[in-house]
Amino acid sequence: MQIKKASKKTAIGLLVLGQIITTGALAAPREAIKKFSEVRPIKQELTKFNGEIKLFLNKNGNKERIDQKMQDGLRVVNGRTCIGVRDLVNAIEGAEVEWDGTNKIVDITYNGKSISYPLNKPVMWDGDKMVTIDVPAQVDPSIERTFLPIRNIAETLGFKVDWNQKTKEVTLTPGAGTTTQTTQQPTQQTTTKANTNTENLSWVTASGQKIPKRDELPSEPGVYYSPKKDSNFYVYQSDVTNNSDGSVTYFKGTPLEFTTQPKFKYVKKSPEWDGFNLFGPSGNDPRVGLAAFQEGHPVYDKWKAKEIKMDKEIYGIPGLYRYIEPSFSASFMPHDLFEEYKHRRIDNNLIKQIPTKLKMDKNSEDIKYLLDDIENIDKFQTKWYDYTGVLDAHINGIGNLPNVCNILLNSVNGYYITTDGYLISALECEKYKDKTIDKVINSSSDFSYIVDIPDVNIGEWISKIKYSEGTCAINSRSANLHK
pLDDT tens, per residue, the chain with 483 residues: 233 333 333 333 333 333 332 334 445 778 888 888 888 787 777 888 777 788 888 887 788 888 888 888 888 887 678 899 888 888 888 888 888 888 888 988 888 888 999 998 888 888 778 887 878 898 888 888 899 988 888 888 888 888 776 777 888 888 754 433 333 332 223 333 333 344 445 678 888 888 887 778 887 766 778 877 667 788 888 888 888 888 888 888 787 888 888 989 999 999 999 999 999 988 889 999 999 998 889 888 888 888 888 877 777 778 888 777 776 665 677 777 888 898 999 999 999 999 999 999 999 988 998 999 899 998 888 889 999 999 998 888 887 765 566 788 877 778 999 999 999 998 888 889 899 999 999 887 778 899 999 999 998 888 877 676 567 778 777 788 877
Distance CA 186, CA 132 (A): 9
- Nearest-angstrom CA–CA distance, 247 and 253: 16
Other beta carbons less than 10 A from residue 44's beta carbon:
13
Distance set, CA 386 to CA 223, 292, 335, 338, 438 (Å): 39, 13, 15, 11, 14
Within 10 angstroms of residue 403's Cβ, the number of other Cβ atoms is 9
Closest by CA to 104, choosing from 31, 12, 41, is 41
Q: For residue 273, give the amino acid letter.
A: W
Q: Quick one: pLDDT at residue 429?
A: 85
Cα–Cα distances (Å) from 20 to 1, 2, 62, 95, 136, in that order, read 6, 7, 37, 20, 20
C-alpha–C-alpha distance, residues 68 and 145, integer Å? 18
Question: How much is the pLDDT for 285?
Answer: 92
Query: What per-residue confidence (pLDDT) applies to 434?
Result: 93
Strands 159-164 and 471-475: unpaired
Q: Please answer whether residues 189 and 260 qualify as being in contact, where contact means their C-beta atoms are separated by less than 8 angstroms.
A: no
The dihedrals phi and psi of 231, each to the nearest 5 degrees, come to: -145, 160
CA distance 243 to 252: 11
Q: Which residues contact 120 (CB under 8 A, 6 or more apart)?
A: 41, 42, 43, 136, 137, 138
Nearest CA among 337, 334, 335, 441 for reference residue 393: 441
User: HSE-up of 30 (CA within 13 Å, CB side)?
Assistant: 0
Could you give the CA distance from residue 239 to residue 195 in angstroms, rounded to a whole number?
17
The secondary element (H helix, E strand) that includes residue 384 is strand 383-386
Three-class SS state of 253 = coil
Taking the C-alpha atoms of residue 67 and residue 480, their distance in angstroms, rounded to an integer, is 35
- Rounded CA-CA distance 28/294 in Å is 39
How much is the pLDDT for 329?
Answer: 61
Give the pLDDT confidence score for residue 269 in this predicted structure: 93
Question: Which residues are within 8 A (CB) of 47 and not within 5 positions of it... i.e. 6 or more apart?
Answer: 75, 76, 77
Q: What's the confidence (pLDDT) of residue 179?
A: 38
Number of residues assigned to the chain: 483
> Are the CB atoms for 449 and 284 separated by under 8 Å?
no
Contact 8, 95 (CB under 8 A): yes
Q: Can you tell me whether residue 441 is helix, strand or coil?
A: strand
Task: Tell me 28's DSSP state.
Answer: S
Nearest to 110 by CA among 44, 158, 163: 158
Distance separating alpha carbons of residues 312 and 315, to the nearest angstrom: 5
Rounded CA separation 45/286 (Å): 39
| DSSP run (H or E) holding 76 | strand 74-77
* Number of Cα atoms under 13 Å in the Cβ half of residue 141: 2
Q: Is the peptide bond before 186 cis (omega within 30 degrees of 0)?
A: yes
The 10 Å Cβ neighbour count of residue 60 is 6
Compute how many other C-beta atoms are within 10 angstroms of the C-beta atom of residue 288: 19
> Which helix or strand (DSSP H or E) is residue 459 part of?
helix 458-462
